[in-house]
């Protein structure tokens, strides 16, 4: 197979699968891994893909209007959300090498996982199938998945006894999303199971970080998780109403927005 033909075939494979490892490409195309790495380097320079240790991922910037890269075949109901993608990038900047983090249920955690998918030496615990789908292709990430009953609508597991799963376990950071936020009503959720998971994980985590896209402010859902002082850190978008910024500042809560994205050098 000539190089031009091989390059074209690699592009077709990665476009279809969204991400793949060097070993698999080497086997599929019957060439050495060194040859594949050279081909991937060329495709990365052209902007078609992004390499990570041991493989490559389709460049999501090329196809932002499609389903989330890597999820189209498995989760066709998830469409691209610019605000959540922005939050995912900010959250990834807050994750340090080798610390233990938890990514909770919801598609916001999927976007965090997408931004972490090319990193190395991370320890991640989750009960979110979206997250495991994204990170499962990176062998340098230590991924711990909590088993249990499947919630089909949210694509996450409900462990039989979460407390026993977490016995003697302590995490550095946990990331969760909520359904609504209001100054009077605090953080609220529609799913009582997710609410209980957040409260349980909070007791086993040094820092709980809530991810809230701007559409959820000045809204209320079914059940209250806690006041706006529930978590010491919040990740959101720059369109948040000024009264919420003032509340967070008054109560010493750290707020990270897109303005901070280029300032976070963690």
Query: Stretch 24-40: mean pLDDT, rounded?
Result: 92
The rounded mean pLDDT for the chain is: 88
Domain count, the chain: 2
| Cβ proximity of 125 and 144 under 8 Å | yes
| Structural domain range at position 35 | 3-62
Write out pLDDT tens, residues 92-127.
999 999 999 999 999 999 999 999 998 999 999 999
> Is 9 within the bounds of a domain?
yes
Give me the CATH number covering residue 224: 3.40.50.1360
Same domain? For 19 and 148 the reply is: no
Distance CA 257, CA 262 (A): 10
Same domain? For 31 and 138 the reply is: no
Write out pLDDT tens, residues 150-179.
998 889 999 989 998 898 999 999 999 999
| pTM, entire model | 0.73
Distance CA 197, CA 215 (A): 23
> Is 43 within the bounds of a domain?
yes
């Amino acid at each position: 197979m000539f190089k031009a033909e091989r390059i074209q075939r690699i592009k077709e494979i990665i476009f279809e699968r969204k991400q793949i490892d060097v070993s698999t490409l080497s086997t599929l195309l019957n060439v050495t891994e060194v040859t594949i790495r050279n081909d991937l380097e060329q495709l990365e320079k052209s902007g078609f893909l992004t390499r990570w240790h041991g493989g490559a991922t389709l460049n999501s910037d090329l196809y932002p209007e499609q389903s989330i890269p890597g999820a189209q075949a498995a989760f066709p109901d998830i469409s691209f959300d610019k605000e959540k993608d922005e939050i995912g990038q900010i959250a990834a900047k807050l994750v340090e090498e080798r610390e233990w983090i938890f990514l909770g249920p919801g598609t916001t955690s999927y976007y965090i996982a997408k931004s972490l998918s090319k990193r190395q030496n991370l320890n991640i615990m989750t009960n979110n199938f979206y997250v495991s789908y994204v990170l499962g292709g990176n062998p340098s990430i230590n991924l711990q998945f909590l088993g249990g009953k499947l919630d089909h609508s949210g694509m996450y597991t409900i462990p039989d006894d979460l407390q026993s799963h977490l016995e003697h376990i302590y995490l550095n950071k946990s990331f969760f999303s909520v359904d609504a936020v209001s100054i009077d009503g605090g953080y609220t959720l529609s799913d009582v199971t997710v609410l209980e998971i957040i409260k349980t994980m909070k007791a086993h985590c040094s820092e709980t970080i809530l991810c809230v896209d701007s559409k959820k402010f000045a809204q209320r859902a079914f059940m209250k998780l806690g006041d706006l002082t529930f978590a010491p850190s919040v990740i959101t978008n720059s369109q948040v109403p000024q009264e919420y910024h003032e509340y967070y500042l008054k109560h010493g809560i750290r707020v990270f927005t897109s303005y901070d994205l280029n300032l976070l050098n963690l």
